[in-house]
Amino acid sequence: MIFFKNPNTGSVAAFETDAEREQWGAPELVKMTDAEVAAHLNPPLSQEAIIAAFTKQIQARLDAWACTRNYDGILSACTYATSTVPKFAAEGQRAVDLRDQTWSAAYTILDDVLANRRSMPTSIADIEDDLPALEWPA
């Protein structure tokens, strides 16, 4: 596939061959560079998309950890901080503490990503060392 753009409108057209472009393409079409084609086929994520993807990964990490003790998720675990059952109260408070520490660290990372001081993590493993260890109280 050969990509062309209209320099006046910015619209993009693609043809299988140069002959096809000559037959069907408007005369003002200009062949795109490899970099332009790559940018067209893989547009950068919007800031909103970056934030949504990042926060989804952080939330999933917290929820998965809470589920290891049969809580529905981190929110459910946090509600036990005021439990009258000492075991549940300790786990609930640990969940609150780790939730707060995790989101604090995560938003620092996200600020760095949005300011182009670091690249967007492709997985939670990329930033695991920057987040608090998810461990239950003894």
Identity of residue 137:
P
- Taking the C-alpha atoms of residue 104 and residue 100, their distance in angstroms, rounded to an integer, is 6
Residue 72 has pLDDT above 90, yes or no: yes
Residue 120 has pLDDT above 90, yes or no: no
Identity of residue 118:
R
Q: Give pLDDT, residue 115.
A: 92
Question: What DSSP character marks residue 25?
Answer: S
Chain mean pLDDT for the chain: 93
Helix axes 47-67, 86-114, angle to 10 degrees: 160
Residue with tokens 């786990």: 91
| Greater model confidence, 122 or 61 | 61
Sheet holding 12-15, edge to edge: 12-15, 2-5, 30-31
Q: Model's pTM, two decimal places?
A: 0.70
Range 63-72 average pLDDT: 98
Q: Give pLDDT, residue 102.
A: 98
